[in-house]
Amino acid sequence: MSLARRFILKLSCPDRVGIVATVSNFIASNNGWITEANHHADALSGRFFMRLEILADSLPFDIETLRERFAPIADDFGMTWHISDSARKKRVVVMVSRQEHCLYDLLARWHADELNIEIPCVISNHETFRGLVEWHGIPFHYVPVKPESKADSYAKVMEIFDENGGDVMVLARYMQIIPPQMCEKYPGQIINIHHSFLPSFVGAKPYHQAHARGVKLIGATCHFVTSELDQGPIIEQDVIRIDHSDQPEDLVRYGKDIEKAVLARGLRYHLEDRVITHDNKTVVFR
């Protein structure tokens, strides 16, 4: 059974006395019913983070009016804030190259309604998965990326994303470096799965790097994409233990299982507005 429709408020601001009381009193004074509340005060940065879920039907007005009435409070406290509607499915544009496991997993979760999303299209720099994607009834866009025409390729990617009303772009093992202008256009909207426990072993072939270093744990990292390669704010991570008998091919095989799970969790946290970014770090209210 699906959950009742909720409005989700997330915010961050300089920490001070009265934030929780003011926000809670505002909601209560409008007969709002809070079903979930999370707070975090960061002593080092002096910043406060908050996420609330409010039953939409408990309020006497719509989401636009809620935003209008909350804005003065946000201004008073210097908040960075956002209110979303759980009834609106976010539109996830998936990008993939020639590694299939994360794409398969996302399509399976979408088909089973495990992710409350719409997938308006899949973009790839190879034709490999056209048949699979179109079998699911999803448009497939082949956008080759060649050294001499990268700017044109990414201009096309951005055009497709915008035309499809994309909310988030998921790099499901899309093995190309996203250009800075694209990162700047969509801050906090591009999510990547990196096959390493960042910040270790950035760039290509991290499992081979890990094997050469003799590590005992390998992992995967779901993070926001920024112009600095593999250095964006981290959303989710996980690891698995390995030993001296494992070869690089074994690490790749183990890693695929971690990558699928970490990407799915990280994407879910983002879709449910559980992630708040500040500087190059995240607060994730699980």
Known catalytic residue at 113: no
Distance (Å, whole) CA 104 – CA 96 = 11
Q: What is the CA radius of gyration of the chain?
A: 21
Q: If we measure between CA atoms, which residue out of 13, 30, 109 comes closest to residue 66?
A: 30
Distance (Å, whole) CA 66 – CA 84 = 11
Q: Give the residue carrying structure tokens 């048949």.
A: 131
Q: If we measure between CA atoms, which residue out of 53, 57, 39 comes closest to residue 83?
A: 53
Inter-helix orientation angle 248-271/206-213, to 10°: 120
Q: If we measure between CA atoms, which residue out of 138, 233, 130 comes closest to residue 190?
A: 233
Q: Where are the alpha helices (DSSP H) in 6-83?
A: 19-29, 63-77
- Provide the terminal-to-terminal Cα distance of the chain, rounded to the nearest Å: 21
Among residues 230, 238, 246, 279, the one annotated as catalytic is: 230
Q: Give the residue carrying structure tokens 């935003």.
A: 67
Q: If we measure between CA atoms, which residue out of 195, 232, 189, 14 comes closest to residue 97?
A: 195
| Total Cβ atoms within 10 A of residue 168 | 20
Neighbouring C-alpha atoms within 13 Å toward the C-beta of 176: 24
Distance (Å, whole) CA 67 – CA 71 = 6
| Catalytic residue ranges | 230
